[in-house]
Chains A and B, each alone.
Chain A
Amino acid sequence: MSATEVLPRASAPDPYRLGRRGGLAGGAGGRSLATGHGEGGPASKRVIVGFGFWIFLLSDIVMFSAFFAAHAVLQPATGDGPHGRDIFNPVSIAVETAVLLASSFTCGLSAVATEARSQLWTQVCLFVTGLLGLCFVVLEANDFATMIAQGAGPQRSAFLSSFFAVVGLHGMHVSAGLLWLGTMMAQVFVKGFRDNILRRLICFNLFWHALDIIWVALFTVVYLIGAGR
C-alpha cells in the first residue's frame, strides 16, 4: 500500500485494466484515456449503444434458454410419435448450418466494408448475407413441411411440440433479421454512413451473429444429441 503511494503516479498500474498491455501501458496509470476509465471521460455513444443492445441480446438468449430447457426435458416424451432420429434429415441440417455460418461471415465482412466506408461493398456483403439467410429460412420451412406431411407435426407429441417451438422461434428471429437487413440496406443507400446509421449497422451485426450462436446450441442439443437418443 505504502509502496504505491511512494511511487510516482505514472508508474502505478491501473488495477482495473484487464489483460493486454499491462506492462507497457502501466506507465499511463490513472491517466488511461480509455473512456469510462481513469480520465477518459464517459464512454462514447456507440459503446453505450452496443452495451444496451448486448443486454437485449442476452435477455433474448435467456428467453431461448427457457425454450431449450423445455425441449431438453421433453425430448424423451415422444409418446406414440416418431423419435428424432426417424425424422431428422442430417444432410439438410448440415447444409443449413453451413449456410448460416457463411451468412455470419459475410455479415462480418459487411462490417469491415462499413469501417472502410465503402458503399458498394457494404451493400454487396449485406445482400449476400440476406440471400444466405433467405436460403436458410426456405430450407427450414421445407424441413418443417416435410415433417408435417409425414404426420410429425407439433400436435403429435410433447417432444415435437417443443421441437417446433424452439426451432420455429429461431426461424422467426432469422426472418425478422432479414426484414431488418433489408431496411438497413435501404437506409445505408439513402442516408449514407451517418453516425446513427453506423450504430444501427453495429446493432444489426450483433443481432445476426447472436442468431448464429443460438443455432450452434440448437443443432447440437436438438439435432445431434436428439438424434442420438
Chain B
Amino acid sequence: MSDEGWHDGDVGPGFMEAGHRSVGEGIRGYLIGLILASALTVASFYTLHTPLIWQPAIPVALIVLAVAQIGVHLVFFLHITTAPDNTNNVLALAFGVLIIALLIGGSLWIMANLNQNMVPMHQMMQMQR
C-alpha cells in the first residue's frame, strides 16, 4: 500500500488534489479556468450583436454558452471531479439541477399556458363594463 493510495482522488469540492500538487500546478488549473471562462463570457457578449447567428436563435446560443461557462466554473474553480469522494457531491449537484429545471421550466410552461388561455385584456375590460 503505497502512500499515494491515500490521495487516490480523496478530494471534495474546493479542495486541491489533497496535498501532492505543487503551487505551479494549482495556479495553472485556475489560469486555465480563467481563460476558458473569459473566452465564453466574451463570446456571450459578442453573440448579442453578431450577424453570424440567426436572430431568433440567439437566446438559445446564449444559454448554451452560459451552461458551458457554469461547467468550466464547476470543474476548474469548485473542483467537482469524478473522484470517488466526489460521488456524493456529483449526486447532490444532479439533484439540484433536476429541481432547478423543474422550477424554472415548470414556471415558464405553466405561466405561458395560462397566458395563452387568458381572455385578452381589452375583451376583459369590455366584459366588466
Residues of A near any B CB (own CB < 8 A): 16-21, 25, 28, 31-37, 40, 43-44, 46-47, 49-51, 54-55, 58, 61-62, 65-66, 68-70, 72-73, 90, 94, 97-98, 101-102, 104-105, 108-109, 111-113, 115-116, 202-203, 205-206, 209-210, 212-213, 216-217, 219-221, 224-225, 227-228
B1 interface hit (Cβ, 8 Å): yes
Partner of A228, one of B8, B31, B41, B58: B58
Closest 5 CB pairs of A and B: A50-B12, A19-B82, A112-B26, A69-B107, A58-B96
Q: Give chain A's interface secondary structure class.
A: helix
Q: How far is the CB of B45 from chain A (nearest CB, A)?
A: 6
Total cross-chain contacts (CB, 8 A): 175
CB–CB A115/B26 < 8 A: yes
Q: How large is the interface on B (under 10, 10 to 19, 20 to 34, 35 or more residues)?
A: 35 or more
> For A115, what are the chain B residues with a Cβ–Cβ distance below 8 Å?
16, 19, 21, 23, 26
CB–CB A227/B48 < 8 A: yes
Instruction: List residues of B (1-25) whose CB comes within 8 Å of A's CBs.
Output: 1, 5-6, 8-16, 19, 21, 23
CB–CB B84/A58 < 8 A: no
> For A49, what are the chain B residues with a Cβ–Cβ distance below 8 Å?
12
List 18 additional A-B contacts (Cβ < 8 Å) besides A43-B85, A108-B77: A16-B87, A20-B83, A35-B10, A61-B96, A62-B100, A65-B103, A65-B104, A73-B108, A97-B41, A101-B34, A105-B34, A108-B29, A115-B23, A203-B14, A209-B77, A216-B66, A221-B66, A224-B48
> For A225, what are the chain B residues with a Cβ–Cβ distance below 8 Å?
59, 62-63
Partner of B15, one of A46, A90, A97, A109: A46
CB–CB A206/B62 < 8 A: no
CB–CB B70/A72 < 8 A: no
CB–CB B45/A54 < 8 A: no
CB–CB B78/A209 < 8 A: yes
Partner of B99, one of A62, A202, A227: A62
Instruction: List residues of B (21-54) whose CB comes within 8 Å of A's CBs.
Output: 21, 23, 26-27, 29-31, 33-34, 37-38, 41, 44-45, 47-48
A-B contact pairs, 16 of them (CB 8 A): A16-B84, A21-B9, A34-B9, A36-B85, A58-B95, A65-B104, A73-B111, A90-B45, A94-B45, A101-B37, A102-B34, A108-B29, A213-B70, A213-B78, A216-B66, A217-B66
